[in-house]
Structure 1
Amino acid sequence: MKLTQDQVNQYNEAGFLVLPDVFSTDEVDVLRREATDITQVQRPEIWREKNGAPRTAFGCHKYSDIFRTLSSDARLVEPVEQLIGEPLYIHQFKVNPKVAFDGDTFPWHQDFVTWHEDDGMPEARAMNIAIFLDHVYPTNGALMFVPASHKRGMVPTTPKENNRRWMDLKDVENVIRSGSDIEVATGNAGSVLMFHGNAVHGSAGNMTPLPRRIVYVTYNAVSNAICKPTRPEFIAHQTFEPVSAMPPEAFAEYVSSLHG
């Protein structure tokens, strides 16, 4: 799946891009069920909220055939290859459930500062691409972005709660001065969101009865492989085999086989 020139321009200007209705209802149903099933299991790759609700399931493409197959889907790989301009490997794969009523906040941050400082990624030549497994509204924990913030480059931060590199409040105040400085990434289930590693973003908690499950794949340029990882391998992968994009029909056929 290739981006149009208008989409490329929009991504380069804003630092993020929503592609509506990329995955079918059947595909989303299978992914949603798999996301629910894996978060029922207690394992170190699954981090939880204080009340025990799942917060992040890392590296689930390593033990889930469904997510492993998804990770090579051309609808995810090709747009990122187009923007990065070279072969990719998977730096990180995760599901963020943002469950109904209990999904907590993700404070303002940039992803690349963690990839660089904690994983040893040389340059911001990695990118997130995500699939909405539920309808994402402004009210159920949608990601909020500061458009064009990626052009400022990496903002250094110090580790905070749970060793996460959330932005210092003074740096947030420098990029958000009014409500018009924030845009919310919303869309139907099956839509795809892609965003730059230096895009300033965060999300509010989910106090609604509407879940907001999202699958994230972070692809990195093979030439930009991490060199000083400090985090577990299930968070920052330390094998760098290039991903070969599979046509969308492959995942669709796989989904059909699961429906029997």
Structure 2
Amino acid sequence: MRKFSDDCRANDSKQACYRKLENMRCEWRPLKTFWTGSTYLGTWNGFGMSGYGIYTYANGAVYEGEFEDNMFHGEGVLKYPNGTSVRGIWVKGVLLKPSSTTVFADGLMFREHDWQYCEKQDRRFSIEYVHKLQPAGMTFLSADGPPREIPEGFYDCSDGFFDPKSNTVYDYNDLSKAIRVPDMTMRDWIMKNCRTSGQLKPLGPQPQLYEEWVNPIYDYVHPTPPPELFTERDFDDVPSSTRNLPPSTINMSAIRFS
């Protein structure tokens, strides 16, 4: 498709040509497949993809929303093959972070600041918010429910298997397919926090994951026990004839207490 239509004449300035094309109506066109393997289904104008459409990448990621001049521009949502979606407002292909919302496949919403997910205070996965905590021996070892079998030497980092030797995250179903290359900070975090091969069974209590609690100090003030009302000595002056009588029949005023 030509960048500019025949409505822009050779002697028109670039700015004048753009003004003419901006006033053109967007029209719906059939599915177009690009040489990269990506496809687009939606509206076009003289600039290219403009208006509303669905752009599908060769790796399966899909953007659905508004376009302008062949770029994401306006409201839209980008969905990744692993189920994660990013919704927000785009300006010339750039996502405005204050407007964006990231939701993972299990429904967990990401927070950039003060995110307490899987922290020491509450180490539950999102799936455990829904299905509750399971009894000992049945607890979830990953956010996806039943744990995957991890290849020897790899780490499960939720979107694929990480190989520290090549510093690459590979697809769960195809270890020859690279997904991403984490930086050194992310690499260290994966190797410190993610499960690796041979850890399919529960590890049991991990003291390093707990908060440092200080046992409370109780300063009890024990009250003085009340004195005994009667002692054996108190009954020395009680006539022997009355000792075995019911208490209600004894004349207590006639008894002298020391």
Question: What's the TM-score, normalizing by structure 1?
Answer: 0.19
Q: Which has the higher contact order (CA 8 A, sep 6+)?
A: 1
**Bigger proportion of residues as helix:** 1
- For the pair shown, the structure with the greater C-alpha radius of gyration is 2
**Bigger proportion of residues as strand:** 2
Question: What's the TM-score, normalizing by structure 2?
Answer: 0.19
